[in-house]
Structure formats: C-alpha cells, structure tokens
A = this chain, B = another copy of it.
Amino acid sequence: MAYKVLDSRKAYVGKLVTVTVDTVEMPDGKKAVRETVIRGKNAAAVLPIDNDGKIILVRQYRHAYKEMLLEIPAGVLEEGEEPEQGVLRELNEETGKIAEKLTYICTLYPTVGYCKEEIALYLAENLKNGKQNLDPEEFIEIERYTPKEAVEMIYRGEIRDAKTVAAIFAYEMGHK
C-alpha cells in the first residue's frame, strides 16, 4: 500500500541531496505533509576480514558529527556500477586490499523516517594486497580489531555507524 501523493515539490536541491515536500493522503482520507531527503545515488559497504581473522576498519572525519568515526569501507556507487563491483573498488581504494571472496549480507535503509538511500552490505574474505588509492578528499586511517574487540567497541560507543554495527553483529552472529 502506498499513500496517494496529492502534491510534490522540490524544496531544496543541493550538491549531494534533494529535499522534497509532498502532500499525501492517508488511509483515513486526511492529508499529511512528508519532507524527504533524497540522495541520488545508492551505496555499498563491506566488512573485510583479513587473513589473521581481524576486521579492517577505516577511521575518517565525518563532518556531520565533527568526529573521526570508525567504519567499514563503503562508498557511493558510480553510474552503471553493480554493488559488487563498487564495493570491491571501494575496498581496494580505501584499504589497498583485493578480495577473492565476496558474500552478500543484506540491504539496509539507513534512515527510513525521512531519507531515501540504500546500502548493500557485503562480507569480504581471502584478501590479497593491492595498492591503496584514496580520493583527494579522503584522509583515512586503517585499524584492525578481532570480531570480539569490535563488538565490545560497539557496546562502549566507540563504533556507532549503523552499517558497521549491522555488519559486525551479522558476522559475530555467524553469517558466512
């Protein structure tokens, strides 16, 4: 079931996001206004397990939080790029690793209340060394933790990024 859209307008068009303000008709016939943030592109993210069984995380500055956050490698898909390709490219660019085994975990809607975007989540294993190749705007530090350490870091609030938390819990839960 989808609500009927009575009116839709673009309230803001930015570089990264567009905000739409729609008037919808609810099941009881009443009208409601829905403000939605739309990111034009989808993303993919990957939990890489190195050959010592450790999780490879990247720490980078996130301006929304004004903090250096720990995350799994991730990025926006390029035009026409499949999630599998995109995630292998991001893994290589951000960590220098090439994955010989890639397993799909699930797809996430990060902020269902008002943002439209989806993130495909993968597990990467059997890693080989390639060459790190960061975007000019990326300043990234690599950190490695055992799955047990990573879970403890989530509980202590040191890892908060939702895609990263979901991927670590999935791995610890036994996703293969």
Q: Enumerate chain A interface residues (CB-CB to B < 8 A).
A: 1-3, 11-12, 14-17, 19, 21-22, 24, 26-28, 30, 32-39, 43, 61-69, 71, 105-119, 136-137, 139, 151, 154-155, 157, 160-163, 165-166, 169-170, 172-173
Contacts and interface: CB of A to CB of B under 8 A. Distances in A.
A14 B14 CA distance: 14
Contact of A114 (B17, B67, B160): B17
Contacts of A137: 26, 32
Interface SS of chain A: mixed
Contact of A66 (B2, B19, B151): B2
A107 B38 CA distance: 24
For the complex of A and B, 6 pairs with smallest distance between CB atoms: A169-B169, A12-B12, A34-B63, A64-B116, A173-B173, A162-B162
B65 A109 contact: yes
Given A2-B67, A137-B32, A160-B118, A14 B11 contact: yes
21 contacts: A2-B61, A12-B12, A12-B14, A12-B19, A15-B35, A17-B35, A17-B37, A27-B139, A64-B112, A64-B114, A107-B157, A109-B160, A109-B162, A110-B110, A110-B115, A111-B162, A118-B160, A119-B162, A162-B162, A169-B169, A172-B173
